Amino acid sequence: MKPEARPFLSHPFDDDKLKEECGVFGVIGVADAANFVALGMHALQHRGQEAGGIVAYDADQGFNSAHRFGYVRDNFTKASLMETLPGSLGIGHVRYSTAGSKGAVIRDVQPFFGEFAMGGCAIAHNGNLTNANALRRELIERGSIFQSSSDSECIIHLMARSIQKSLSERIKDALRRVEGAFSIVAMTRTKLIGVRDALGVRPLVLGKIGDHGYCLSSETCGLDIIGAELVREIEPGEMVVIANGKIESSHPFGAPNSRFCIFEHVYFSRPDSIIGGRSVYETRRQIGVELAREAPVEADMVCPVPDSGTPAAIGYSQESGIPYAMGIIRNQYMGRTFIEPTEQIRNMGVRLKLNVNRALVKGKRVVLVDDSVVRGTTSRKIKDMIIDAGAASVHFRIASPPTAWPCFYGVDTPDRGKLLAANMTEEQMREWIGVDSLKFISLDGLYRAVGEAEGRNNARPQYCDACFSGEYPVAPSDQIESGFVMKLKAAE
């Protein structure tokens, strides 16, 4: 099948979830670096299942690359492919498209590579540039020829136009022109480079491999799979350049207040990762604790919506004293690209992935805990399944505040008109989903769960929570140009 025609049909269950942006990984100072990169990409697969790519450098063979559609396990575990990626330096990227064409176009798959006067450079980007359209127009008018529809390619073209003498300085030059969110892993012939935007919206961590190797990863779970030791997180606005076993650090983008994406704690990151010194699992369990305090209910069992609702359901059960039970069982072998050929099968959507444990829920008052409500379509279907199985009542508890605003920093969110919370009150959502009660954790409750004892600092929020609050730390200029209306601040 030609790449342009390849169907990436996601499962109906997944269509009602926010998509997990992308994941980046890089390694230097180890033999067969590409194999380490592939393992890291596998650990980060939850951040993007559409496609992946690796670029590696070998002193004898130069730069080599491979870009493939689908899962890491189906492509980058083949010896015949990995043998084409020799060298002690490599970077990789797993993708879910957040900018550019939606669907399968191989030229949009990162890492991107550019050949410059001082040598080649490859870049992998997690995030989204909010002024990419304006930059692209400017660059095209000045003669740049784009090969992809990705916003990340703007960085390569900005580097090409820089007058700086080294590639690392050209990267700084280029990133000073962009707006939005970026965590970047880049490589030259001799250097591995990591950069985070000034607000640190997207994650990036540094790890050490043995005595001489280093790695960069979107999450700490990528370090665990290769046996690397966590050194630290790359700081907001920081750039690290790793070469010859040494790390040089600079802060070319200033150091304003961090506005890390709070939804990484809620959903995106793997529960076995560490963020800001805190276990993601423990944070999600604590979200459930806060939710039980804020929204108690009389019930017989607490059930998670697998798998993302599980830690919060455990916390809700522990705090409320209501027994925890696996009332819904997930089919582990349901792929994301299942093709439903008939309307009847499409209507079975959620049942292909989730099934109710009928013997457990019959006659019971059930608390269902999920991580979020986006469109609400899946919530309705899950409620129907629970009721069909004989439950006496269904109470939804959501481990995040209502998602009422789109994200422009690397998360693929629906238009605001398709977000249930943007168009309905909580009571209207409860009626539309058809449950006995529906409660979301408060924004302050979420902040307490992630370690902010006093809750949200409304004057200077500690996190980016724009999808809940509508307060964007960086104005999405491309979207505003297209007609998006931002929420006015209270003072205005």
Asked if residue 10 has pLDDT above 60, the reply is no
Q: What is the model's pLDDT at position 333? A: 64
Asked whether residue 102 carries a pLDDT value surpassing 60, the answer given is: no
At 414, is the pLDDT very low, low, confident or very high (cuts 50, 70, 90)? confident
Q: Which of 22, 215, 303, 467 does the annotation list as catalytic?
A: 22
Q: What is the pTM of this model?
A: 0.90
Please write the tens of the pLDDT for every residue from 106-148: 999 999 999 999 999 999 999 999 999 999 999 999 999 999 9
* Other Cβ atoms within 10 Å of 163 Cβ, number: 7
Q: What is the pLDDT of residues 240-298, one digit of tens each?
A: 999 999 999 999 987 667 999 999 999 999 999 999 999 999 999 999 999 999 999 99
For 20-29, what is the mean pLDDT? 90
Q: 3-state SS string over the chain?
A: CCHHHCCCCCCHHHHCCCECCEEEEEEECCCCHHHHHHHHHHHCHHHCCCEEEEEEEECCCEEEEEEEECCHHHCCCCHHHHCCCCCCEEEEEEECCCCCCCCCCHHHCCCEEEEECCEEEEEEEEEEECCHHHHHHHHHHCCCCCCCCCCCHHHHHHHHHCCCCCHHHHHHHHHCCCCEEEEEEEECCCCEEEEECCCCCCCCEEEEECCCEEEEECCCHHHHCCCCEEEEECCCCCEEEEECCEEEEECCCCCCCCCEECHHHHHHCCCCCEECCEEHHHHHHHHHHHHHHHCCCCCCEEEECCCCCHHHHHHHHHHHCCCECCCEEECCCCCCCCCCCCHHHHHCHHHHCEEECHHHHCCCEEEEEECCCCCCHHHHHHHHHHHHCCCCEEEEEECCCCCCCCCCCCCECCCHHHCHHHHCCHHHHHHHHCCCEEEECCHHHHHHHCCCCCCCCCCCCCEECHHHHCCCCCCCHHHHHCCCCCCCCCCC
Sign of CA dihedral 201, 420, 132, 148: positive
Q: What is the pLDDT of residue 20?
A: 54
Whether residue 172 is predicted with pLDDT greater than 70 in this model: the reply is yes
User: For helices 132-141 and 153-161, what crossing angle results, to 10°?
Assistant: 50
Q: How much is the pLDDT for 404?
A: 95
Are residues 305 and 368 in contact, defined by beta-carbon separation less than 8 angstroms?
yes
pLDDT recorded at residue 338? 40
pLDDT tens digits for range 56-98: 999 999 999 999 999 999 999 999 999 999 999 999 999 986 5
Kindly indicate the confidence band of residue 489, based on its pLDDT and cuts at 50, 70 and 90.
low
**How much of the chain exceeds pLDDT 90, in percent?**
81
Identify the pLDDT of residue 436.
97
- For residue 96, the model assigns a pLDDT of 82
Is 464 one of the catalytic residues?
no
Pairing of strands 278-279, 112-116: unpaired
**Predicted pLDDT of residue 487:** 82
Written as one letter, the residue type at 16 is D
